[in-house]
Amino acid sequence: MPKRILCLVLFSPLLALLAAGVLLDGWPARAQGAVTQGAPLSPRFKAWEASHEPRGVHGPAGGGREGGMRIRGYIPPPIDLSHVHGPIFTQGAGGLPYPPYFNLEATGMLTPVKDQGEYGTCWTFACMGSLESSMLKAGTGAFDLSEWHLAYYAYVPFNTSLLTSFTPGPTQYGDDPIFDQGGNDWMSTALLARGTGAVNEKDCPYQLGGYIAKPIPAGNLPNGKERVSVPLEDALYLFAVDAPTSESDLKYSLTHFGPAVISMDWEDPNFGETYSTYRDTTASAADLNHEVCIVGWNDHFEPCQFPADNRPATPGAWIVRNSWSRYWGNGGYFYLSYDSKVFDGTVFQGGPRTSHRVYQYDPLGWVNSIGLGSDSAVCANIFHAQDQDWITAVSFYTGAVDTMFEVDVRTGVTGGDPGSGVSATPAGLPPQMGTLLAPGYHIITLANPTTVAKGSDFSVLLRLTTPGYPYPIPVQESEPGYSDRSAVQQGRSFISADGATWQDLAPDCQGAVACVKAFAEKGD
pLDDT digits (tens, 9 = 90+) for 297-347: 999 999 999 999 999 999 999 999 999 999 999 999 999 999 998 888 899
pLDDT: which is higher, 466 or 247: 466
pLDDT score, position 84: 87
In terms of DSSP bridges, do strands 403-411 and 432-436 run parallel, antiparallel, or are they unpaired? antiparallel
Q: Are residue 367 and residue 272 in the same domain, yes or no?
A: no
Q: How far is CA 37 from the centre of its chain?
A: 23
In the structure, what pLDDT confidence band is assigned to residue 94 with cuts at 50, 70 and 90?
A: low
Domain-ending residue, one of 319, 349, 379 = 349
* pLDDT range class, residue 85, cuts 50, 70, 90: confident
Asked if 342 and 365 sit in the same domain, the reply is no
Range of the domain at 300: 43-349
pLDDT value of position 333:
97
State the pLDDT at residue 524.
65
Is residue 55 pLDDT above 80, yes or no? no
Total number of domains constituting the chain = 2
Whether the CB-CB separation of 101 and 248 falls below 8 Å is answered with: no
More confident residue, 177 or 370: 370
Residues 150, 134 share a domain:
yes
Residues 6 or more apart whose CB falls under 8 angstroms from that of 198 comprise 128, 131, 143, 145, 146, 149, 150, 192, 228, 229, 230, 231, 232, 350
Confidence of residue 56 (pLDDT cuts 50, 70, 90): very low
Residues 429 and 456 in one domain: yes
**Segment 66-70 mean pLDDT:** 44
> In the listed set 349, 368, 403, which residue is the last one of a domain according to the structure?
349
Residues 239, 369 share a domain: no
Residue 143 and residue 281 share a domain: yes
pLDDT in tens, 361-401: 999 999 999 999 999 999 999 999 999 999 999 999 999 99
Name the domain boundary from 316, 349, 382: 349
pLDDT digits (tens, 9 = 90+) for 31-48: 345 688 999 999 888 888
Return the minimum-mean-pLDDT range out of 45-49, 284-288, 440-444, 454-458: 284-288
DSSP state of 430: P
In this structure, are 57 and 78 located in the same domain? yes
User: Which pLDDT belongs to residue 283?
Assistant: 81
Q: What is the pLDDT of residue 61?
A: 39
Q: Is residue 196 included in any domain, yes or no?
A: yes
SS3 341: coil
Find the distance separating the first CA and the last CA of the chain, reported in whole Å.
Answer: 28
Residue 129, pLDDT above cutoff 80: yes
In this predicted structure, which of 86-90, 155-159, 361-365 has the lowest mean pLDDT?
A: 86-90
Q: Tens of pLDDT along 492-517?
A: 999 999 888 999 998 766 679 999 99
Q: Are 172 and 54 in contact (CB under 8 A)?
A: yes
Q: With 50 as the cut, is the pLDDT of residue 6 above it? A: no
CATH code, domain with 428: 2.60.120
**194-212: pLDDT as tens digits:** 999 899 999 999 987 555 5
* For range 241-250, the mean pLDDT: 71
